[in-house]
Amino acid sequence: MTKTIQSLTPSAISSAHGLIKPYIHKTPLLTNTTLNNLASTPQSTESLQGTEWAGQAPANPTIRFFFKCENYQRVGAFKARGNHAQALALAAQTLHIPAYVVMPRISTVSKISGTKGYGAEVIFSGSTSTEREAVVAEVQAKTNAFLIPPYDHFDIICGQGTTGLEMQGQYAALVAEKPDLSVYGDRAEVQLDAVITPVGGGGLNAGVATFFSDKSTKVFGAEPSFEGGDDCRRGLLAGERVQAVKTLTIADGLRTPVGVLNWEVISDGSKVAGVYAVTEAQIKAAMRLVLERMKVVVEPSAVVGLAVCLFNEDFRRMVEKEAPEGWDVGVVFSGGNTTVEAIGKLFT
């Protein structure tokens, strides 16, 4: 049977979870009072100077965070649930088959060494999707290998969507045990109000949105705005998928355009409620908070969702307007593939 957009259902996510559960970690769901307080305090008028919200009264939402820490996943990222350079190499090693992985030359040292460490042959390309696709074609011609795409595929979307399945179950158990963690207190709900994930190729966001598509939870996406890295947000405004992206944002995991199948999900307003963008400075500020206040190691791509909740006034005003009592928000920390040296360069 051909797998189409109609086949992307919550039950498909559940089926994928049953298949991959023996091979992945069930990553923790963490909370943090300091970040809750920061998100639930209006930004200073000074911090809004020079932005599109300058001169306007800052938003004052109430937010309680629940962080799904996929940085603790095997290979250090959510993509162990679907596809990623290191995850693909690990799967090939497990099945005793060769793997050829095309990676941009500017990939972080830790990602390159991790991929090689699982036994894959790494072939380098330029940093744009067009350059990578050209090298992929060359490798296939030489090796007769079949291509496993990084995000634009039914099975990959389903695998990555299991992040949402686990998050929701963990949230329900956590607030049942400790209702004070929720904005609802003793009236704690069993359903998250919202979930926000990073958007690069869109597999994670499309998968999570698919899982929550029959529930009341709203799903949002987050992107870097640097050099047009917010292709998904711009595409939604234009009503058409942006097919190419050229950005050197520090959120290096989000430098790709949204895939075709992924776009069909994300552009459906009944599944994804909106996509928001943040600046490089805001990404770094969010990353610093996670490192210093949560003591959790994350890469820049992982914190764009948190940055939206903390700094994007459009998002914050929407929360304030829709939920005067506040929202319980699930935030996916998508990965932690970075190094001490890379972190040091960001904050020098």
- Quick check: helix, strand or coil at residue 111? helix
**Which letter does DSSP use for residue 76 in this model?**
G
| Whether the Cβ atoms of residue 153 and residue 177 lie closer than 8 Å to each other | no
pLDDT above 60 (res 27): yes
pLDDT tens for 314-324 read 999 999 999 99
pLDDT tens for 127-179 read 777 888 899 999 999 999 988 887 888 999 999 999 999 999 999 999 999 99
Euclidean distance between CA atoms 135 and 121, whole angstroms? 13
Euclidean distance between CA atoms 18 and 153, whole angstroms? 18
